[in-house]
Amino acid sequence: MPERNLLLEELTWPEVEGLLAAGFTSVVVAAGATEQHGPHLPLLVDAVRGDRLAVEVARRLGRTLVAPTIRVGCSEHHMGFSGTLSLRDSTFKAVCADYATSLSRHGFRTICFVPSHGGNFAPLAEMLPDLREAAGPGCEVLAYTDLHGFMALWEGAVAELAPDLVNRVGGHADIAESSEMLCIRPDLVRGELAAPGYVAGFDEEVAERIFRDGFRAVTPNGVLGDARGMSREIGDLCIARAADGIAAALREAGA
């Protein structure tokens, strides 16, 4: 039996209406970005990772559809690198609120925002009350906003398969993210250009410096961590562990 297509944008309106009537009243919205990912990965990394992650989370939640990924996010801290696009926090908030309003009006009762870009975690956490107001009564809006928890999921996955490489998980264009891209868009990975970036570890102090001063203040090549040693096996496990952890957190929150 073929797997059900969960992508809202690929369905017809009668199909969506029928699925809502059948109890598919939850929806996942990935919030990605179009921004630099070092010398070896393209700008679309967070957008296509969002596409994949949203589907994996929806499958784990069950009876859940997947809205189109928000493909540009809050990336001001990456603007020192050519090609990056960024939304103001107010613009990002307006887009998310319009998603919530539209989906709620059609009968979705649970809307789950899942960031696939680090710069979207804090804005989503801050705007959550406003998104709930936009959706209105009878519709719950949830968001996964634990950036450090997400990093731990990647670290755990790499540690399972390559414990000697876990120190190469840095959070951006690193061994975990690059391995995921080998699974999603291998044609766009320039593995021969992979090089270490900032490798001293990602913590609150580093995060604050990045968001305050920009990525170039910490890593001249735009990488946090090290992509060398990337593999499809690591990528598959990183995707699975991330989806497992996010789905579990959303269930705990009421999804």
Q: Look at 255 and 17; give whichever has higher pLDDT.
A: 17
Please say if the pLDDT value at position 250 is more than 80: yes
Q: Under a CB-based contact definition with an 8 Å cutoff, are residues 119 and 77 in contact? A: yes
d(CA 207, CA 118): 10
Name the percent of the chain lying above pLDDT 90: 94
pLDDT tens string 141-156: 999 999 999 999 999 9
170 and 197, same structural domain?
Answer: yes
Q: Is residue 2 part of a domain?
A: no
42 and 96, same structural domain?
Answer: yes
pLDDT tens string 171-223: 999 999 999 999 999 999 999 999 999 998 777 888 889 989 999 999 999 99
Model pTM?
A: 0.97
Residue ranges making up the domain that contains 50: 8-146+243-253
Per DSSP, helices labelled H in the chain are: 13-21, 45-61, 89-105, 121-135, 147-161, 175-184, 204-213, 232-253
35 and 135, same structural domain?
Answer: yes
Question: What pLDDT band is residue 1 in, cutting at 50, 70 and 90?
Answer: low
161 and 140, same structural domain?
Answer: no
d(CA 69, CA 231): 25
